[in-house]
Amino acid sequence: MNGGELPKELSSDELINIYKKMLLIRKFEQRITKDFGKIKSPLVHTYTGEEAIAVGACMAINEDDYITSTHRGHGHFIAKGGDVNSLMAEIYGKEGGICKGRGGSMHVADFSKSMLGANGIVGAGPPLALGVALASKMRNEGKVVLTFFGDGAANQGMLHESMNLAAAWKLPVIFILENNMYGWSTPFHAATAIKDFSIRAQGYGMKGFTIDGNDVIEVYKTIKEAVDIARNGGGPTLIECKTYRWQGQTIMDPDKYRSPEEKEEWKNRCPIKAYKTRLIRGEIIDKVMIQEIEEMTLVKIDESFKFAKENKNPDPSTVLDNVYKKPIKYGGN
């Protein structure tokens, strides 16, 4: 756990990039938490504490492979290479946001990066992932789809349908279950009778693994293996990543349903801190570099905030744009 060998196939730059991305997500979420009064929407969900999953997983795929995300999507967006400025501007509802201020935090998407969108409906990403995977398969593109979802979504009927169909049709989908222990205030052990969700995989005819979601290298390695299987026509895999949501369900959640001791215990298992220690031990980075990365990250976040703040609000006269590809004409002939 968080102590094994660093994978040899990854260069020093790649290993450092993993660290940079995790840190960027962390600092981004800390910043919007600090600024929540300015954002105003209560429906902003942070990924703090879960960074290793998105970053480790996206490290295991190619740029043109796809991901679907959840309502807690900032981390996936950044991990897939999305632009932080347009992410911040979207959360602030500005025209320069990635969705032009139409989507907000729960709908951030960058289709140019094959990031098919955060999604406000729990469990709605996996059914869409099926279709993207099917398209890839029908066109022999060899692309795979990572579909992220939580322990809450694990109990949605849509997920059952999706896992079954993916297995039946051997679709190149990797089901990544981010078990952060809580569906809002409900602990997963109160919502299910099983300890590890991965045992469900067998019932669909696919392999299932439960791993430490706070170990970015373990996430990377496990998902890489599943990706190789999927790319070679072997079908889907379920990977449950155990992790913990450091903050409340949303940035407005007073989070009184979890004990301080429990939160403290998980903070001691910080995925970023643990990875940093490994990089130092492996002599990949030193304290000077760490300092530099930290400073650069903060500059980036400041810039994104500045970009969002100075960006203009969407023009109200455009509010009806994009309901349809071309505005529909009432009144025909």
Angstrom distances, CA of residue 247 to CA of 75, 134, 146, 173: 14, 36, 24, 29
Q: Which stretch binds other proteins (CB under 8 A): 154-162, 215-223, 228-236, 238-246?
A: 154-162
Residue 219 CB, shortest distance to other proteins, in Å, is 24
* Range in contact with other proteins (rule: CB under 8 A) among 194-202, 226-234, 303-311, 316-324: 316-324
Binding segment (CB under 8 A) for other proteins, from list 159-167, 190-198, 243-251, 258-266: 159-167
First to last CA, the chain: 68
Among 99, 153, 176, 230, binds other proteins (CB under 8 A): 99
Q: Is the Cβ of residue 109 or residue 154 nearer to other proteins in the bound state?
A: 109
User: Do residues 229 and 174 lie in contact, with contact meaning Cβ atoms separated by under 8 Å?
Assistant: no
Closest CB 130 distance from other proteins, rounded Å: 4
235 contacts 229 by C-beta, under 8 angstroms = yes
Stretch that binds other proteins, among 107-115, 182-190, 217-225, 261-269 (CB under 8 A): 107-115
Tokens of 151: 């322990």
Q: Site for other proteins (CB under 8 A): which residue of 39, 116, 177, 239? A: 116
Torsion of CA 69, 73, 75, 81, to 10 degrees: 60
Task: Kindly state the smallest distance separating residue 285's Cβ from other proteins, in Å.
Answer: 36
- Distance in angstroms (rounded) separating the CA atoms of residues 81 and 115: 9
Q: Is 73 in the site for other proteins (CB under 8 A)?
A: no
The residue within the footprint of other proteins, chosen from 35, 83, 127, 192 (CB under 8 A), is: 127
| Minimum separation from the CB atom of position 42 to other proteins (A) | 18
Kind and range of the H or E run holding 105: none
Q: Which phi-psi region, left, alpha or beta, contains residue 287 (left: φ > 0; alpha: ψ -120 to 50)?
A: alpha
**Binds other proteins (CB under 8 A): choice among 10, 30, 142, 161:** 161
Q: Does 332 bind other proteins (CB under 8 A)?
A: yes
The closest alpha carbon to 244, from 223, 225, 261, belongs to 261
Per rule CB under 8 A, is residue 124 in the interface with other proteins? Answer: yes
Q: HEC states along 126-188?
A: HHHHHHHHHHHHHCCCCCCEEEEEECCHHHCHHHHHHHHHHHHCCCCEEEEEEECCEECCEEH
Question: If phi over 0 gives left and psi between -120 and 50 gives alpha, with beta otherwise, what is residue 234?
Answer: alpha
Distance of closest approach, residue 316 Cβ to other proteins, in angstroms? 15
Residue from 17, 155, 164, 192 in contact with other proteins (CB under 8 A): 164
3-state secondary structure of 74: helix
Q: What are residue 66's DSSP bridge partners?
A: 145
Q: Give yes or no for residue 101 binding other proteins (CB under 8 A).
A: yes
Asked if 6 and 282 touch (Cβ cutoff 8 Å), the reply is: yes
Tell me: does residue 236 bind other proteins (CB under 8 A): no
Which residue among 34, 62, 121, 186 contacts other proteins (CB under 8 A)? Answer: 121
Regarding 168 and contact with other proteins (CB under 8 A), the answer is yes
Contact 239, 222 (CB under 8 A): yes
In this structure, the number of other CB atoms found within 10 A of the CB of residue 155 comes to 16
Selected binder of other proteins within 10, 134, 252, 298 (CB under 8 A): 134
Kindly state whether residue 44 participates in binding other proteins, applying the rule CB under 8 A. Answer: no
Q: Dmax over Cα atoms in the chain, in whole Å?
A: 74
213 is a contact residue toward other proteins (CB under 8 A): no
Size of the site for other proteins (CB under 8 A): 50
* Minimum CB–partner distance for residue 68 and other proteins (Å): 8
- In the complex, the residues that contact other proteins under the rule CB under 8 A are 66, 97-103, 107, 109-112, 116-117, 119-121, 124, 126-136, 138, 157-158, 161-162, 164-165, 168, 321-326, 328-333
